[in-house]
Structure 1
């Protein structure tokens, strides 16, 4: 009896919130797979990609795909939407009639899907000018060979994806928004007079729904006064949303706040898909002790021995001075640092300055470069967290404290300014038994170095969707436009980007 391998392409979810709506699913049936029908010569002629060629060379060009293995592969790729990917990215919709071509297509699909889950479908080094975060190292050919031998191809493929709680939460959220986008049931909040506390308006019910959907109100939140009253709890939720998106947190729902609340499910699904891809780029085992800086959401987390030790806000690069995506170890503290002004800042910010400005800022020339001497006005403040990289990117203190109180904190020239940097330095010094050394050198007022006993890996990440401490998915504006770059590389249409303006007339600090 003839058997078939059925691959269901669920179009509604598989549109991945890309373009158009489809409420149907269609099935592609692959004819019976029998490795005995495939000769080595025919297989050699059918295989074109290097990875598949390497796989078959190690097997002396012997075909491998039985019905059972092929069905396992098809079922697994069918679940690609759980990873915000399309099955048709890996398996063709048209069934190859030639047995050798079917064999080759199955191997190519297994290797490509495994690599997409293990390292991402897009290579970030090809998308970004600078990307040095540690990436997963995998041998797909060896992995598939063993999976074929153990007859657990599907299990092996699923194990290639990140296994973190955050990735699973992003997957669940993606499926939710993709389904919502395909359902056509979205109801945006209508434009009109600004909504504020105390107002009774029919639009408040939809506002409450939007705040629930975005995690700013509990899923079971309900008002005894009914859904048309703008209650204080709703105002507090609106303020939290405004702070997260860099808006004035006045609790009033005006045009800018309305635009965020009316972000379509299609755009949310696309944003999550991009962020799931970013997680696949990262090495699976994050260092147990590390500092993670989310430059999209402008905060850092200090992890010590696998536990969250500290969390605080930061100021990162503004538009045109973006903080790059780096993996770079912190190796020392610099007490009372001086600052050699980068050529780019020298040309953009100092060209019009006069002698009085340089004197007031304690900026002198040394060996043809502008250098700001240590002191209360130094752009690096009282401490610098030195990192090993070729891009002159590091964490530091700052005399410009006001921006830490702002909801929108993309305001530096590329480096990372740390809130209460002295307190953070004290914490790191204490964890490494360097408290007395750092305090003594800081007190002297001269530039001095404190080598860390153990270097601390620092990851500068750009995550516009992430899992917060309350296990809620949070969204942030795509300040740098980098979501769009990744989305385009994944072959997705553009979204409506909420732009973050560049700050003009600010301080000259890095």
Structure 2
């Protein structure tokens, strides 16, 4: 990297003396001002980078350009200051010489525009932010008015309530109101089915699960344009943290939505539900590869669980759960009741985070699947393991290992990167921007750094987690 003085001299020479030291001619000043004026498309409109005035010095302009370039290329917030661990690969280009080159070539605007993610998802999130920003921020199409609502009531608000419940997976996507109209046919009815879905939502957020929609429940259901815009801005920031070209074959786990997506050669080939860490034992944002399948795994209980939930269990408990003590560690033997189920997807990381099967498949039917101690439980894990085995051409070895009944290891021919991502706003398979809750409360510091106020919202509570990893 060139010293600042030499860099300024070289840039002046390259522009034939037409610009002041540092290359800040009229066109470059205008390009920077234009880029900053358009920063709303990145959710950065509440961040002040600089006020570009006619008399601003080259050093002031350079500092503003570099700060904005870093925000686009790497994000406003360093994720490693928010998360420990954070091992997702980040893009960190060397911006200072690149800025000098952009100024010298008269392409500052093009260079700044190239720094943010260029993929379709980012573009859709960007447009969603601009659209939401243009709406009244204290109301919106999804705003549900105040007032109690109980089973049997005919009320226009029921349509919006059902929409929010479907979005949160409390009701199936094909839930309809066609058969729920009042006798006059004018208003939908708040039915027992809808109330049951509301009770599930209430339990997740620590509200009395009575199925009655009151102020606290409305506080969760209401997601106005301002709330959505703030969430989209945070989603754009999280996208800017990451390297621009992820592995073409990979497994992405969205821990906010508790969903897994498997990509093969850049094509989405499989999605399924997962159970991830509960608040307090969150699944961390990291990337590490699956390098082997483990058939009929045993489970060595972590000391945090052994000295916590299992601190006072006796021999009877261990026997009932097929456990034994080995050198001071509680180990659960192989079997269908093992907390890891019948397959473990071993990952190379120092944090004891991995994917696995479960002996409690009923949890996949929950709307919020944040119940574990940090590892990721995969729906129909045996089916997923077979899919990977087929892709890796190791099906015969995998099936033989399963049939043995004891713990056996089957290496993958090619390790598969797994990215554990927290995305409560994302683009779904239909190309629509989907919203989920912020179960870990991780949006707040990012939103504040982006200049948003962040009013207190109900947070997910998962007090019924089991002892599994």
Corresponding residue of 1:42: none
> Is 2:334 the partner of 1:374?
yes
Q: Pick from 18, 25, 28: which aligns with 1:69?
A: 28
- Which structure has the higher relative contact order (CA within 8 Å, separation 6+)? 2
Corresponding residue of 1:498: 458
Describe the shift of the 1:454–1:124 C-alpha distance in structure 2 as closer, same or farther (beyond 3 A).
Answer: same
Describe the shift of the 1:383–1:214 C-alpha distance in structure 2 as closer, same or farther (beyond 3 A).
Answer: closer
Corresponding residue of 1:200: 154
Q: Is the 8 A contact 1:244 1:476 kept in 2?
A: no
Corresponding residue of 2:49: 90
Q: Give the CA deviation at 1:181.
A: 3.7
Q: Pick from 373, 383, 400: which aligns with 1:440?
A: 400
Describe the shift of the 1:55–1:478 C-alpha distance in structure 2 as closer, same or farther (beyond 3 A).
Answer: farther
> Is 2:134 the partner of 1:174?
no
Instruction: Give the SS at the match of 2:448.
Output: helix
Describe the shift of the 1:183–1:150 C-alpha distance in structure 2 as closer, same or farther (beyond 3 A).
Answer: farther
RMSD of Structure 2 on Structure 1 (CA): 3.6
Describe the shift of the 1:265–1:253 C-alpha distance in structure 2 as closer, same or farther (beyond 3 A).
Answer: farther
Q: Is the 8 A contact 2:248 2:265 kept in 1?
A: yes
Q: Which runs of 5+ in 1 are unaligned?
A: 1-49
Q: Give the CA deviation at 1:428.
A: 0.2
Q: Pick from 263, 272, 288: which aligns with 2:223?
A: 263
Describe the shift of the 1:301–1:54 C-alpha distance in structure 2 as closer, same or farther (beyond 3 A).
Answer: farther
Corresponding residue of 1:340: 300
Describe the shift of the 1:121–1:370 C-alpha distance in structure 2 as closer, same or farther (beyond 3 A).
Answer: same
Q: Give the CA deviation at 1:239.
A: 6.3
Corresponding residue of 1:229: 187
Q: For residues 357-368 of structure 1, what are the structure 2 equivalents within 5 Å?
A: 357-368=317-328
Q: TM-score, normalised by structure 2?
A: 0.86
Deviations 1:380-400 (A, max 9, x none): 111100001110000000101
Corresponding residue of 1:383: 343
Of 127-136 and 141-150, more deviation after overlay is shown by 141-150
Q: Is the 8 A contact 1:77 1:87 kept in 2?
A: no
Describe the shift of the 1:184–1:414 C-alpha distance in structure 2 as closer, same or farther (beyond 3 A).
Answer: closer
> Is 2:417 the partner of 1:457?
yes
Corresponding residue of 1:130: 85
Q: Is the 8 A contact 1:245 1:477 kept in 2?
A: no
Of 145-154 and 173-182, more deviation after overlay is shown by 173-182
Q: Is the 8 A contact 1:64 1:148 kept in 2?
A: yes
Q: Is the 8 A contact 1:329 1:455 kept in 2?
A: yes
> Is 2:286 the partner of 1:286?
no
> Is 2:109 the partner of 1:149?
no
Describe the shift of the 1:212–1:51 C-alpha distance in structure 2 as closer, same or farther (beyond 3 A).
Answer: farther
Describe the shift of the 1:487–1:87 C-alpha distance in structure 2 as closer, same or farther (beyond 3 A).
Answer: closer
Deviations 1:121-146 (A, max 9, x none): 11000121211101113111222122
Q: Give the CA deviation at 1:260.
A: 3.7
Deviations 1:319-366 (A, max 9, x none): 111000011111110111111111111111111211101011122122
Q: TM-score, normalised by structure 1?
A: 0.79
Q: For residues 415-430 of structure 1, what are the structure 2 equivalents within 5 Å?
A: 415-430=375-390
> Is 2:467 the partner of 1:508?
yes
Q: Pick from 165, 173, 181: which aligns with 2:120?
A: 165
Deviations 1:5-35 (A, max 9, x none): xxxxxxxxxxxxxxxxxxxxxxxxxxxxxxx
Q: Distance in 1 between matches of 2:354 and 2:253?
A: 11
Describe the shift of the 1:311–1:57 C-alpha distance in structure 2 as closer, same or farther (beyond 3 A).
Answer: farther
Q: Is the 8 A contact 2:177 2:188 kept in 1?
A: no
Q: Distance in 2 between matches of 1:70 and 1:96?
A: 8
Q: Is the 8 A contact 2:88 2:287 kept in 1?
A: yes
> Is 2:460 the partner of 1:488?
no
Q: Which runs of 5+ in 2 are unaligned?
A: 13-19
Deviations 1:169-203 (A, max 9, x none): 1112212222224587778422334266x853344
Q: Is the 8 A contact 1:167 1:276 kept in 2?
A: yes
Q: Give the CA deviation at 1:88.
A: 5.3
Q: Pick from 271, 276, 299: which aligns with 2:236?
A: 276
Q: Distance in 2 between matches of 1:471 and 1:478?
A: 21
Q: Give the CA deviation at 1:54.
A: 8.3
